[in-house]
Structure 1
Amino acid sequence: MKNKLLALSIALLFMSQPVILHAEGNSKAGKEKATACAGCHGENGNSAVTNFPKLAQQHASYLIKTLNAFKSGERNNPMMSPIAMGLSDKDMADIAAYYAEQKISTNSLPVLQKDEDDDEDDSEDSADASEDIKELLALGSDLYRNGVLASEVSACIACHGPFGEGNRPAAFPALKSQHADYLIKTLIDFKSGERSNNPENMMHMIAKKMTEREIKAVSYHISVMK
């Protein structure tokens, strides 16, 4: 019950955030304009490299907000910032509309890497690894839905929805089926303060209380949400 109240309090906080409105984009025009994005994010927004985020099925409102953050310098990235600087508001709306219409690909079950000092895998080691990933996924599922009351880590469900679908009017991103590696890096960046462009710096306040295992667990769980 206390965990549910914690999630509810965070949800109510974000309900007070203003709805973000953007002009509707043209997805057909956006497909042409997104050609330069395919190298990192994939032709249809499903990146092959797990360090680059999938953009397919992402809310246009969030994508526009993110591009504007790169353009204004609110977020800095040696690759994205120069690209965003050359985009007009219409370009951003069109590109975002295109990616929002694409279907995100699913991910296979994460595989935990053995320590470098371990011997080669045998059947028993593989079984143990399978149990470990199941434990991590269970921990991630519980954290996503309930948070961690003892350390005041808020439940992800409050802002990103029960199925990782996000919140389009508030420009909170959809998370389901995102690459685990990208999610882990994102949470680490929020935890360290390297990334802070979110309402009330809420993600930093949450991530800084998370352990490395919790970050990995919830990222793995989100990566297999459909």
Structure 2
Amino acid sequence: MNKLFTTIFAVAVAFATIPSQAQDIKGDAKAGESKNSMCIGCHGIKGYQSTFPEVYKVPMISGQSAQYISSALHAYKKGDRKYPSMRGIADSLSDQDIADLAAYYSASGVVAGAELPAKPVKEPTAEVQALLTKANCASCHGANFSKPIDPSYPKIAGQHADYLFVALKAYKVDPGNPRVGRGNAIMSGMAKQYTNAELKLLANYLSSVQGELKTVPESRFR
């Protein structure tokens, strides 16, 4: 079953939902820095929390791959991701805006020459390892969970545990829900293999792994 999911996932990437014309647009990090006023109010404040659909820290996006940020914003714009405020923001962005913001955040806070271990220094417990193996998480997100096999997949090492938990649960939500949920059929199949208690164990471990993601406050707010 794991091999089947992995194969389907790989095929799905070949038919990415980002419009072809959007994929051809080159992002400008400098331009993105001038367009991030709608982003910094949440993603530029360390420890900032969302309260919908429950309380959790908003994700760290500085250091995330440009392709993943672009993919996520297009998913909000298309409605595959249903978080209301993010959908509204994504709807206001052009394809060039999205490319520029993705370029900016992928470079934000990156330290030149820094290299993560090939595998996490902190090893999972036997229970967590069994859960990671169940869906073969490393086969897509990388052995250290920071080097995905495809740049449109997220880096998840070191991400906030409560955010990871909420994000994973979102893939289990009924697709007919108009306000909550994520419409990725492959991740839905993965997430539905686990109980919420198991997803929390996974999220807690992944958040403890050294990663590249950061919250970088705006210089004028530091």
Q: 1:1-226 counterparts in 2 under 5 A?
A: 7-16=2-11, 17-18=13-14, 21-42=23-44, 48-49=48-49, 50-103=56-109, 138-144=126-132, 146-147=133-134, 154-167=135-148, 169=150, 171-193=152-174, 194-198=180-184, 201-226=185-210
TM-score normalised to structure 2 length: 0.71
Change (3 A) 1:98 1:13: same
What CA distance in whole angstroms lies between the structure 2 residues aligned with 1:26 and 1:64? 13
TM-score normalised to structure 1 length: 0.70
The CA RMSD over aligned residues, in Å, is 2.8
Q: Which stretches in structure 1 are left out of the alignment for 5+ residues?
A: 1-5, 105-133, 148-153
SS at 2:158 equivalent: coil
How far is the alpha carbon of 1:22 from its aligned partner? 4.5
How far is the alpha carbon of 1:159 from its aligned partner? 1.3
SS at 2:98 equivalent: helix
Whether the 8 Å CA contact 1:47–1:54 is kept in 2: the answer is no
Whether the 8 Å CA contact 1:68–1:84 is kept in 2: the answer is yes
2:191 maps to a residue whose letter is A
* Structure-1 residue corresponding to 2:113: none
* Structure-2 residue corresponding to 1:110: none
Aligned residue-pair number: 182
Identity of aligned residues (%): 33
Change (3 A) 1:214 1:71: same
What CA distance in whole angstroms lies between the structure 2 residues aligned with 1:55 and 1:19? 25
Whether the 8 Å CA contact 1:140–1:219 is kept in 2: the answer is no
2:189 maps to a residue whose letter is M
SS at 1:29 equivalent: helix
SS at 2:163 equivalent: helix
1:223 maps to a residue whose letter is S
Runs of 4+ displaced beyond 3 Å: 6-13, 19-22, 46-50, 134-138, 166-170
How far is the alpha carbon of 1:136 from its aligned partner? 7.9
How far is the alpha carbon of 1:30 from its aligned partner? 0.8
What CA distance in whole angstroms lies between the structure 2 residues aligned with 1:60 and 1:140? 29
Q: Which stretches in structure 2 are left out of the alignment for 5+ residues?
A: 17-22, 50-55, 111-121, 175-179, 211-222
How far is the alpha carbon of 1:191 from its aligned partner? 2.0
Max radius of gyration: which structure? 1
How far is the alpha carbon of 1:9 from its aligned partner? 4.5
